[in-house]
Structure 1
Amino acid sequence: MSTDDRNRNRFALRSAVSAVLDHPLAGLERRRTTVAVAYLCALIGLFVVSYAGANVTVDDVLLDTLSLGFDHVSTVLIVAVSVTITIVPFAYAIWNGGPGLAFALPLVPVALGDLAAGQYVLGVDTAVALTAGAAASALALYATDVRTADSLRPWRTAGGPAVPRLLAVTVLTVVAAFGIARFVAVVPPRSLERYAPFAALWLVPLGIVASYWAGEVRTTVATRTEHTDGDRADT
């Protein structure tokens, strides 16, 4: 590969990364989005180190038995995963918007766990992550529009939210709801009891998404009524 080809590939890669970081579904401010992505990269790094300690052997001895450092890494990872699933998505949604990234944040540690296990399991962790992701995604949409509309009811302001963002949040909410429906249908009662405290989070996406679409319907009806009245006045 020539130097020109390498330069073109680097430029294309930088352009792609910039497009992702600047996308409204990722966040409002690029610097804050970069911080969130760096946090995820650090979490993945902790996972890789912890996984290596539990699975890689040296002279038939597991690495985590050779050093207490791996135990410390595993402890930090457990805390980080818990915080990433339950707290970080909501903090990021309020801090920087970005419904897409807010939805993905709690799912990353679950995906890492499934990768380590070598299989996909629709368990309590996945259900909690989907629920938190849906709630954080809707909260990100709401927090963004509260700032731009300077109103606690942004769906009532002129213009309303950008429809692509509302559609994206709606799709993410539906996908999460479908996953939870499957979870409820197949898991034993004990798993449902563990999930039950998190079920209240569904009030957030359902309430926000419903309010936005109700606002869109009202705006559409009002616009059509104005056009109809205008046509009648002209005739």
Structure 2
Amino acid sequence: MTALSVNLNKVAVLRNSRGGREPDVLRAARTCLAAGAHGLTVHPRPDARHIRADDVLALAALTRQAGVEFNLEGNPFAPPRPGYPGFLALCAQARPAQATLVPDSDAQLTSDHGFDFSGELGPLREHIAALKALGCRVSLFVDAGAPQLERAAALGADRIEIYTGPYAEAFAAGTPAAELARCAETARRAQAVGLGVNAGHDLNQANLGPFLHAVPGVLEVSIGHALIGEALYAGLAATVAAYRRIVEAAPA
């Protein structure tokens, strides 16, 4: 069954917009796990616009206690600064089960593209090796149909995460077939060279089921923005439970 990892960034956005501790990220995390989430995801940005380094450490402790996976996302090349020790240093402190590397810049509102596997990849290889030495499974954020995707395996990565934003846009427009086919082909290419397949970005209750039925062997989806938005209407526990039913209904 595909694992459901809930991204808690948007809970932290709401907290930070007012200051203080509410809504409480740890309480939201516990609610998600109690409702059936298989794990938790956060993507701390260097500017601490949502999840902060202290949140990462608290969530790492919670997931270890609960016996579930913690997925930490970030750009390994972003330099450290006050309040943000750098991605590798944060992973060394938190020891997440999975480190998902994303090539985003500080100015990006959200992650919107995957790695380019052309050219010199030595620095990326070094970061992957350092993370694996910490005991982290390493996943690389990739575009559907990415050229030279197979190089991810040679770099030492364990998985890819397919960027599903274009699929979600096509689904909303009523024309998902071409993007679904690209995602499915990308998954097969990755699996052919021994890479596991994750997926994420703009997945929601409407488009997740069709995606999982069309794309083979998806091991994990991380969902945050849509899930937290839907939870404003239905409640957090009920929304997580609804997503859990969707992944349970998908092909094994």
**TM-score, length of structure 1 as denominator length:** 0.28
Report the structure number with the largest CA radius of gyration.
1
**Higher helix proportion, which one?**
1
**Higher strand proportion, which one?**
2
Q: 1 or 2 for the larger relative contact order (CA 8 Å, sep ≥6)?
A: 2
**TM-score, length of structure 2 as denominator length:** 0.27
